[in-house]
């Protein structure tokens, strides 16, 4: 289950009804904690992207080619493949990597928890209305794209 969704359900379904009913401050703060939690997961995913890009570039400098997959970077360039903290899988999943015709992509799913194959497109108005956990003006995935020189 998606960690942000699990957190949201815990706050919205009132696992602690006596707190939510009796303490107005708690009712005001719980939605903010939800957003704070998502921002922390995003920050950790950005960190994973940066670690991965540095390891790929070091590999590329040594071998004059891109690695076929991220496991080729272990253990010489990174101790383990960094995790995608926003992925909806029940088990931790690695950050995503794809070789594309003009270079490569390293990406994480965005705060909605969906893998959109490294799409940098913004959500349409209809898509934002359809899913409440999508955030306006944010791309579908958090993407780092490295173009060939």
Give me the torsion for CA of 46, 51, 54, 56, rounded to 10°: -100
pTM over 0.95: no
Tell me the C-alpha distance between 96 and 85, whole Å: 11
Q: Residue 62 corresponds to which tokens in the numbers above?
A: 């040594």
**Could you count the other beta carbons within 10 Å of the beta carbon of residue 56?**
22
Lowest-confidence segment of 11-20, 27-36, 107-116 by average pLDDT: 11-20
Q: Which of these, 71, 92, 86, lies nearest to 38 by C-alpha position? A: 86
Range with the largest mean pLDDT of 55-59, 83-87, 144-148: 55-59
| Selected residue with higher pLDDT from 108 and 119 | 108
Instruction: Kindly state the average pLDDT of the residues 8-21.
Output: 53
Contacts of 39 (CB under 8 A, 6+ apart): none
């Amino acid at each position: 289950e998606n960690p942000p969704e699990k957190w949201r359900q815990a706050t919205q379904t009132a696992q602690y009804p006596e707190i939510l009913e009796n303490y107005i401050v708690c009712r005001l703060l719980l939605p903010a904690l939800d957003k704070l939690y998502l921002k922390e997961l995003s920050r950790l995913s950005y960190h994973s992207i940066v670690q991965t890009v540095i390891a790929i570039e070091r590999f590329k400098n040594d071998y004059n080619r891109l690695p076929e997959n991220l496991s080729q970077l272990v253990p010489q360039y990174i101790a383990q493949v960094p995790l995608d903290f926003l992925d909806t899988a029940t088990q931790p999943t690695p950050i995503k990597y794809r070789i594309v015709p003009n270079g490569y992509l390293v990406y994480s799913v965005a705060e909605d928890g969906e893998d959109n194959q490294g799409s940098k497109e913004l959500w349409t108005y209809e898509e934002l209305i359809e899913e409440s956990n999508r955030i306006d003006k944010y791309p579908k995935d958090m993407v780092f794209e490295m173009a060939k020189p």
